[in-house]
Amino acid sequence: MSDVFTSLKRSQIMSRVKSKGNKATELALIRLFRSTSISGWLRGAKLYGKPDFIFRNHRLVIFVDGCFWHGCPKHASQPSTNIAFWKEKLRKNKSRDQLVTKELRREGWRVLRIWQHELMARNERRLVERIRRALTRKSDG
């Protein structure tokens, strides 16, 4: 089915759509935290880069990165239309991720980035171990 709007109009409409977080992946991580008794996390903290979760007492922030939007090396795919736009958009996303990580580390936070695919059941045990290691590790600063 073809779009009822022109490309320009569709672009204007889509530019007004604001992200509200990656709710499904965040909820999956909350379920994992609860099922494994990982506590002390907060959501919605007003920190640079808007981390998905923070563990204030451990100075740890966690981001759940979507495989498509953040360029997962295992699962990233390139759209077959509007290639130049998407290539630049995804490049900027990766660049912003690096900047956010660098700035938070400069502010004394440790940063853990979790790929969306790591929340699948077969990866759960390994992910829990990774989170627990991050929580027990001493701060770099």
Sketch the domain layout of the chain as residue ranges.
Answer: 22-136
Query: Each residue's pLDDT tens digit in the chain (141 positions)?
Result: 577 878 888 777 776 665 555 678 889 999 999 999 999 999 988 999 999 999 999 999 999 988 887 888 787 777 778 888 888 888 999 999 999 999 999 999 999 999 988 887 787 889 999 999 999 986 554
Reading the block at residue 23, the tokens are 């709710």
User: Does the global pTM surpass 0.75?
Assistant: yes
The Cα–Cα gap between 1 and 14 comes to 18
DSSP SS3 for 40: coil
Classify domain 22-136 at the CATH topology level. Answer: Endonuclease; Chain A (3.40.960)
**What is the pLDDT, as a whole number, of residue 25?**
85
**What is the pLDDT, as a whole number, of residue 141?**
47
**What is the pLDDT, as a whole number, of residue 19?**
56
Contact 42, 56 (CB under 8 A): yes
Please report, for residues 109, 112, 126, 136, the alpha-carbon distance to residue 139 in angstroms, rounded to integers and kept in the order given: 8, 13, 22, 9
